[in-house]
Structure formats: structure tokens, C-alpha cells
Amino acid sequence: MGALDGRVAIITGAGRGIGREHALLFASEGAKVVVNDLGGAVDGSGDDRSPAQQVVEEIAAFGGQAIANDDNVADWAGGERLINAAVEAFGDLHVLVNNAGILRDRVIINMTEDEWDSVIHVHLKGHFVPTRHAATYWREQTKAGKEVKASIINTSSTSGLLGNAGQANYGAAKAGIGALTVIAAQELVRYGVRVNAIAPAARTRMTESTPGLSDIVKVPGDAAAFDVWNPANISPLVAYLATEGCTATGRVFFVQGGTIRNFQNWTMTDTISRDDRWTVAELETAMEKLVGS
């Protein structure tokens, strides 16, 4: 018996990297998997549908069940087709893992409009569209009297939650995904849907192409050493969040190697207050408490 027996899962961006590891683990735990991937390069260019099919073949080789899907998750009709593909192939949908993304790093002063728009489009809209169509499916099931125990797992990043110079587009999208996660959890609980997010740290095409990270994330020279950057380390948490018995919702988790940590939402801390409107002159002194002298 696997932890995901009987669960039907869609995993976007599952042709390579972390998404591929998710798909392989989900299938090994008994889930029926829709492996979604356009097969593009890190920057979103190109169109190679073979990686998704290769993952499906890997899953079939060990007796798992999966189908490949090449719909664009940021396209409205494509997102709807993706949800329908799972239901048509496997009869239901229980889990949506939003993982697809691209990178077009640039400091703000040099960033083009297209570099901004394309990254926001793929990450943020690419999370919203499948979520919207999956939520509609689960709402209809609830209205028909079926008990739904569904799970959405989104993919955020420390680049958005903590900040990283040179990734304003990517970080803004990933911060937005964190907010989307919290809000979706509040809205979809009535339909039996839990929504969580992860902020993973692992070796992927993206991290290997990020300046300063390529040497850090490389495979350890000692074959016996634990590879904390192995993308397979991320997937057990995602699989746990996808299980029927998991109760967590509205949470964001950092995960790297064998470490999992809670992220805390934006929190108000030090305060200055008075029972009247401040003047600028008064704030010149009072604000030292909040920003330092």
C-alpha cells in the first residue's frame, strides 16, 4: 500500500528537475499521475514534448500509471484541458501540484518588459489558471454531494519570500504565489480543498543557471556524502501534503535536504502610535524606533 493509493494527481513542469522527482515518487506511492510539461528551456523558449513522455515511460517501467500532457498552464483553455485530461484518463482528480516555471534574471535597471511579463505570466498566472479550473471541478463535486478531500501544493521560493537581487520578476511572482496560497486556502476549504506551498532549495536547471549558485549546488565529490541539493529530497514533503489524511492548509514550508521549516507570513512587529495624526516633524524623531537612527 502506498501513501497515495487511489489518488489522481496533476504535476506541472514534471518533465525535468523537481517536478520529475515529484511524478516518480507520487507514482511509486500509488498515485495516477498526469505529467504536464511543455519541454521548454529555462527561459521558456523552445518546445520539446519528449521529457514528459520519458517520465511517463519511467513510471510505466516500474508498474505505475501516468499520462503525458503538454497543455500550457498559463493559458485559460489549456488549464481547463489539463484538468479534464486527468478526469478523462483516471476518472477523478485529487491533487494539483503547481510546479512549472521559467527564469529570465536581470537587475531592474536592465530588465525588459518582456522579461518581466513572461516570468509573471508563467509562474503566477500558471499557478492561478490550473487552480481555478481544479477548484471549479471540486466545487461541482461538492455541490453534487460528494465528499472532497483534495490538495493543491504550490511552488514558491526564497527569492520571493526573502528576496534576491537580480530576480525582481521571479521573486515578485513567487511572493505572489505565497499570497495566492494563503488566500486560496481560506476560500477553498468549504469545498474540501487544502492549499499549501513549498519554497524548495535544490539542484535544478534554474539554480544551476543562477549566478553564484552553480558551484554551491553541484553534486558532492564524496559519493557517500548526503547530497542536500538533490531535487528528490523535496518530493516526500509534497507527497505528504498530497495525502488524504494531511490536515495542513494555508502553510508555506521551506525544504532542503532533510530540513523542513515553517515560513511565517508578513508580521507586524515594532510599533509607534498616538491618538492623533502625526506631523512630518514628529515622525523625523519617532520613526527612529522603526527604522533606526
Query: Which residue numbers are catalytic?
Result: 157, 170, 174
CA distance 252 to 239: 15
Angle at which helix 17-28 crosses helix 50-61, to 10 degrees, equals: 30
Phi, psi of 193 (to 5 degrees): -110, 125
- Which parts of 136-240 are beta strand (E)? 150-155, 193-200
* Kind and range of the H or E run holding 289: helix 288-291
Closest CA to 16 of 72, 58, 60: 58
Closest CA to 17 of 53, 42, 47: 42
CA distance 91 to 236: 25
Tell me the CA distances in angstroms from 96 to 8, 31, 265, one per residue in order.
9, 12, 23
- The C-alpha cell at 272 is 509607534
What count of Cα atoms within 13 Å lies in the side-chain half-sphere of residue 108? 5
Tell me the CA distances in angstroms from 114 to 16, 70, 159, one per residue in order.
25, 23, 20
* DSSP labels, 43-93: TS-----HHHHHHHHHHHHTT-EEEEE---TTSHHHHHHHHHHHHHHHS--
